[in-house]
Amino acid sequence: MDIQIDSQLPALTQVQALTGWRREFCVELLGDGRARIFTRMVISSSRKAAELQHGVLFHPVGAGFNDLRSCVKVAAAALRDLVASATRQQPCRANLFAAVVYDQRAWERVMDALDQWQRRPHAAARCVAAAPQGPRPTLRQLPILARRAAQVQHARAGSPTHH
């Protein structure tokens, strides 16, 4: 089995994301146990029939999608099943739009894995340490603040302050 991963992600700026641009996770089924996995940027939803003529399956991913290799690792088993099931065919009158036949359930498992991977807790959220328990350590005060604090304490205690 030969699966090529093009891990270069197209840049997606915040302005583009706000104006409707998005990325799609794509699997180009080449047949004979071969596939190419890549992401692309699109302004509008791809047309499934047109993509199937080229043997490309696609699934939208969020603007924060930035690690194709890790995502592919999570979906590896389903991707292997999908690629193994794919067979290229010549379009005919009965099947004008699909240049490839594949296991639809395997593709559904790939899409489910993609969605779950995107909803995982992000690394920054996993690395947040719990707040320390017990008394907080005291911070070193600047000398001017220490003098002011001492003056306030003396005034509260009723003792005269000397300048």
Residue 89 has a pLDDT of: 79
Residue 20 has a pLDDT of: 87
Could you list the pLDDT tens digit for every one of the 163 residues in the chain? 799 999 888 888 889 888 888 899 999 999 889 999 999 998 877 777 677 777 899 999 988 888 899 999 999 999 999 999 998 877 677 766 667 889 999 999 999 999 999 888 765 444 444 444 555 545 455 555 556 666 767 677 765 555 5
Q: How far apart are CA 161 and CA 150, in angstroms?
A: 9
Q: How far apart are CA 155 and CA 159, in angstroms?
A: 6
From the centroid of its chain, how far is CA 129?
23
Q: How far apart are CA 110 and CA 75, in angstroms?
A: 6
